[in-house]
Structure 1
Amino acid sequence: MVIAIDGPAGAGKSTVARAVAQRLGFTYLDTGAMYRCVGLATQRSSEPAATVARRIEIEVGERVLLDGEDVTEAIRAPGVSEAASKVAADPEVRQALVAKQQAIVADGDWVAEGRDIGTVVAPDAAVKVFLHADPEERARRRAAQLNLDPQDVLAKQRTRDERDSSAGRSTLQAPEDATPVDTTGLTLDEVIDQVVTLAIEAKEIQA
């Protein structure tokens, strides 16, 4: 079974996906980390981003490995976040990473989160959830996570939202067959409970 969790930056996708995977005994797939790896590798290379995306080896789990190097912390730097958003706007980069992601989730039970998961990466996912929150709340969460100024994060977030909604992407809009969850006024446990309930219901239907 695949649980697809989509939504914009700061909506809580990573935190929720990790917790849901742990509670259900599924494996967590952070697709955003893969784009961050391409962003980091592109910063280090003179090659086009698409070439880098096809060439590099990425391992995503408790630690993130880029061609064997542990880059778990390095890919969370603000500059890498910006680079990841830019390379994600390249259709060839997305094509290369989607192929890698689809191969990963082809077998087993997964909680996959990121952008375009329910529409492109795993369109046949048994459960599709779209997490969203007020822009100010998303910026506050990201700023607290990275110890940055909330207003600066909000300004960069608006730019990223515009870029992520272009180039044929619709990352700020829930797929028609996804369950939207507004996390603005919810606790983490409340959000996790909603997603776990959807997964249990889907398993019962499959059975």
Structure 2
Amino acid sequence: MVIAIDGPAGAGKSTVARAVAQRLGFTYLDTGAMYRCVGLAASSDPDSPAGEVAARVNIVLGDRVLLDGRDVTEAIRTAEASEGASRVASDPAVRAALVAKQQAIVAGGDWVAEGRDIATVVAPDAAVKVFLTADPEERARRRAADLGQLVEEVLKAQHERDVRDQTADRSTLEAPKDSIPVDTTGLTLDEVIEQVVTLAVEAKEIQV
């Protein structure tokens, strides 16, 4: 069973997905970490097309994130890594390479996969599709708290990223037609987790 969680940056995808996976005993797939890894690898190899880099790198996800055997857990969580991920994600060749890797990962077992384009591209047959969103200001406040930056700076970078993502043949700010939108503005983390867990339990009962 696959639970697909989409939404823009700062909507709470990673936090919610980790917690839901833990509650249900599923495995958590952080697709954003994969793009961050490719962005990091591409910045170290500017002579190679990003798509080639994405196809050849070996990414291992877990409590620690390994890129070609190197622990990059902290390195991929910087503001620079976030921007690098957004840049490479606009490259169709990068997306094709990583989508293939992600689809192979979720082909078996129970997964909570989060990121962008999960429900429409990576796991279109997911049993549960959730689109998390929040007001732009709320998203910026959350990311600013995570990154230790000023809200105004994060809001500006967030807007630029949203525009870039929307113009890269993606619809990261719009909920897929068959997904359930959940506006996390004003909700506690527990309230959001409970909504997603309830949806998963109901879907599991239907499957049975």
Task: Give, in angstroms, the shift of residue 23 of structure 1.
Answer: 0.2
Provide the rounded CA distance (Å) in 2 between the counterparts of 1:172 and 1:138: 12
Choose 53-62 or 196-205, whichever is displaced more.
53-62
Q: Which amino acid aligns with 2:183?
A: D
Counterparts in 2 of 1:190-201, with a 5 A limit?
A: 190-201=191-202
Measured on the aligned residues, the alpha-carbon RMSD in Å equals 0.5
Q: Deviations over 1:118-144 (max 9, x none)?
A: 000000000000000000000000000
Choose 195-204 or 62-71, whichever is displaced more.
62-71
Aligned to 1:34: 34
Task: Give, in angstroms, the shift of residue 63 of structure 1.
Answer: 1.0
Q: Deviations over 1:161-199 (max 9, x none)?
A: 001111210000000000000000100000000000000
Unaligned runs of 5+ in 2: none
Q: Deviations over 1:96-150 (max 9, x none)?
A: 0000000000000000000000000000000000000000000000000111000
Unaligned runs of 5+ in 1: none
Aligned to 2:73: 72
Provide the rounded CA distance (Å) in 2 between the counterparts of 1:59 and 1:9: 22
Aligned to 2:88: 87
Provide the rounded CA distance (Å) in 1 between the counterparts of 2:179 and 2:11: 15
Q: Which amino acid aligns with 1:140?
A: R
Counterparts in 2 of 1:155-194, with a 5 A limit?
A: 155-194=156-195
Identity of aligned residues (%): 76
TM superposition score normalised by structure 1? 0.99
Provide the rounded CA distance (Å) in 1 between the counterparts of 2:80 and 2:146: 15
Counterparts in 2 of 1:1-207, with a 5 A limit?
A: 1-46=1-46, 47-207=48-208
Choose 42-51 or 8-17, whichever is displaced more.
42-51
**SS, match of residue 169 in structure 1:** coil
Task: Give, in angstroms, the shift of residue 31 of structure 1.
Answer: 0.1
Displacement over 2 Å in runs of 4+ = none
**SS, match of residue 149 in structure 2:** coil
Q: Which amino acid aligns with 2:85?
A: A
Task: Give, in angstroms, the shift of residue 48 of structure 1.
Answer: 1.3
TM superposition score normalised by structure 2? 0.99
**SS, match of residue 21 in structure 2:** helix
Task: Give, in angstroms, the shift of residue 62 of structure 1.
Answer: 1.3
Task: Give, in angstroms, the shift of residue 77 of structure 1.
Answer: 1.2
